[in-house]
Amino acid sequence: MVASDPRNEQGLWLRYTADIGGERTFAVWASWFEKDRAFALRTLVDPAAIGRAALNDQGCSGEVEAGGHALRWRLSFGQGIAGEEFIPGWLRAPAMLRGSGYTLPHPATTITGVVEVDGRMIELQRFPAGQAHLWGKTRYPSWAWARCSAFAEDPEASIDLIDVEGPAGVRVPIFVRGEVHRFAELPWIALCSSHLQAPSWHFSAQDARISIDGVVHASPDRMVQVQYGSAHYCANTEIATMEVRVRSRAMPGAAWRPEATLTSNSGACLEFCGRERDARVLNLLVTAAAAAQQKEAASAGSVAS
């Protein structure tokens, strides 16, 4: 679950993960972003303990403490657009064979509630937010991901992007002017363009009636860096800047005309994940065992970290 407030330049990234493969680890992750600091925390828990955190169709709650920082939250989802199957139809069979999937139960919604950041209570009132569910037997070698539902010109507009090393093309569902445009479907995916140069990403796409091109960018000091397993490094922020230029036409073959320019300063999400660590991102993930595991480790004469 991610949330961004461009007005106050604050962002939240929450993850509830279960690795039922080799390591069989269960964890609750939380990252907090402000204009002058960012940090990422993870608590490793046993399968029973993760039940004390919650994520469902109504909202989420939980807490993470590590490295001298603490995040606690109790949030509820507001109204939003309908859920979206992110993987295009022509890719669903290969994804199923690979044992992977990506859905957006809440592509663009709001959250209301309270976040406690290092003892400071922050009330969130209708923060622009989104919630996704990602699963798979293995991870792709590298990817980039971005989203925004906090555009200054149109608070109802939203966009989700992903570029994965594997099947070519950037997959871009965009909700604008009351319609969802799925640029990843055939034949439109052939017209998608994606240029990654972290921490910036330029993209474009079109279908029969809508054309978009834009850029999303973040400063490395506003990002956190986490590691997935031993082979993936992920730099992420929920307070990136995005601009999307939208053009429209009455029918295929007609001339394009400017429709809108959507901007969000510190209200977009951006992530780059690959095989190498980004040395510019210094806010690194801090991991701690849950309290019960720390107590057990201490009684055995070791220190949990």
Answer whether 13's CB lies under 8 Å from 257's CB.
Answer: no
Dig out the tokens for 248 from the structure. 């429209």
Residue 52 phi, psi (nearest 5): -75, -15
Cα Rg of the chain (Å, integer): 20
CB-facing half-sphere around the CA of 48: CA atoms within 13 A: 2
Q: What is residue 53's predicted lDDT score, i.e. its pLDDT? A: 87
Q: What is residue 129's predicted lDDT score, i.e. its pLDDT? A: 97
Count of residues for the chain? 305
The whole-model pTM stands at 0.91
Please state, in angstroms and rounded to a whole number, the distance separating the CA atoms of residues 33 and 38. 4
3-state secondary structure at position 68 = coil
Task: Please give the full DSSP string across 215-264, using - where no structure is assigned.
Answer: EEE--GGG-EEEEETTTEEEEEEEEEEEEEEEEE-SSTTSPPEEEEEEEE
Q: What is residue 171's predicted lDDT score, i.e. its pLDDT? A: 75
Q: What is residue 176's predicted lDDT score, i.e. its pLDDT? A: 82
Answer whether 223's CB lies under 8 Å from 238's CB.
Answer: no
Domain chopping of the chain, boundaries: 2-299
Tens digits of pLDDT across the chain (305 residues):
999 999 999 999 999 998 766 667 889 999 999 999 999 999 998 766 666 788 888 999 999 999 999 999 999 999 998 888 888 888 888 888 888 888 999 999 999 999 999 999 999 999 999 999 888 888 888 999 999 999 999 999 999 999 988 755 677 888 887 889 999 899 999 999 999 999 999 999 999 999 999 999 999 999 999 998 778 999 999 999 999 999 999 999 999 999 999 999 999 999 999 999 999 999 999 999 865 444 444 444 333 22
